Amino acid sequence: MREPALFISSMGIICALGAGHQEVLGNLLESSTIDRVSAGDMGSELCPYQGVVPDEGLDVWCGHSRNNRLLSAAMAQIAPEIERLKSCYGAERIGVVLGTSTSGTLEAEAAMTLRQMGQVFPEDYHYRIQEMGDPSGFLAKSFGITGPCYTLSTACSSSGKVFSAGRRLIQSGLCDALVVGGVDSLCQLTIHGFSALESVSAELCNPFSSNRNGINLGEGAALFTLTRETADIALLGVGESSDAWHISAPHPEGRGAVAAMKGALNDAGMIAGDMGYLNLHGTATPLNDAMESLAVERLLGRSLLCSSTKPFTGHTLGAAGAVEAALSWLLLSPCNEKRQLPVHYWDGQVDPELPNLRFTVPGDVLAENKAVIMSNSFAFGGSNVSLILGRCAE
């Protein structure tokens, strides 16, 4: 028997598109905001286009790391719902599962640089801020939540997989509600690492174009509360796979991607024709776009409206699954009264080697009878996840 769907009762987001529901959705649907992925100056000689969150949007005295300051900005947006859930179920019945890949690495880099110069560590530096578990512990302590609490780190699928992990905690009876999501901040380790892999574009990323040549890095945070209580938007399905094809390259035929998408459809009890829109992983790297387009054509066909939103946010790595799930949530939400879809931002140069997918153009909308969105996240090592969110019938 299929488990009943869980519902997303609140969502908080901060990224290069802004902070909060209205600002992020408005900028997502306005292609004039594309210049937001160009403001970074960290390692700009290697990574000139970056999806950076402005410092003025963050509490500089909070959390001892930029990662936790990003997280705090998203936390503030769901704080009223957390307090309501605590009063309903008790702090011990609420869990936390987050995804990240950098945690407090930025501060660790600065501290180690000082140490190497013969100086002492900064007074507010502690090694634990760079541990992967720090964001989830920080959130739980800040909200006074005492249920199960941990962090997943599977590279770019980290904060997509938290939905599956969180759902299991509710289905097993260990929790009545969950805070799930992800956060990642830019740091030199990320910039130099992806540059060494020759994965970073010197231009605005160009997903699925014959001219695509790499990613733009970004940062951000997105959080959700999951419960069995009915809400406007539900988590309908999750599919995971691990094809372990290569440490940094996807399976060329997209076998792991197909398995994840198929798993999500089966989990939701749906077929490809039920989907209204697909948020592609769409990194704009030659290998990822090639395999994803093949996988989409094989399982979902060529008629499904789809796009990559990474030209608007940058690739937020460990936060990408959550950030793109949050964008999907916004597209399904009452905030999006006209059911608009974001345009697929690229140069329009079709790669003749790839299937010709139906990329969104200005004026495309989410069909009212197909208020269902799939969102893909594919990571190093073949760690893949696909999520299906849907608007509940009124």
Active site residues: 156, 281, 315
CA distance 190 to 196: 10
Q: How crowded is residue 41: how many other Cβ atoms within 10 Å of its Cβ?
A: 10
CA–centroid distance for 171 within its chain:
23
Question: Quick one: which of 362, 312, 361, 368 has its CA closest to 339?
Answer: 368
CB–CB of 98/152 below 8 Å? yes
Question: Quick one: which of 285, 282, 309, 303 has its CA closest to 293?
Answer: 282
Amino acid identity at 270: M
Q: Which residues contact 192 (CB under 8 A, 6 or more apart)?
A: 43, 46
Quickly tell me which residue has 């705090």 as its tokens.
Answer: 72
Q: Which two tokens stand for residue 357?
A: 């997918």
β pairing state of 277-279 and 372-378: parallel
CB–CB of 32/296 below 8 Å? no
Q: Is the dihedral of CA 359, 311, 263, 171 positive or negative?
A: negative
Amino acid identity at 64: H
Question: Quick one: which of 390, 166, 205, 164 has its CA closest to 316?
Answer: 205
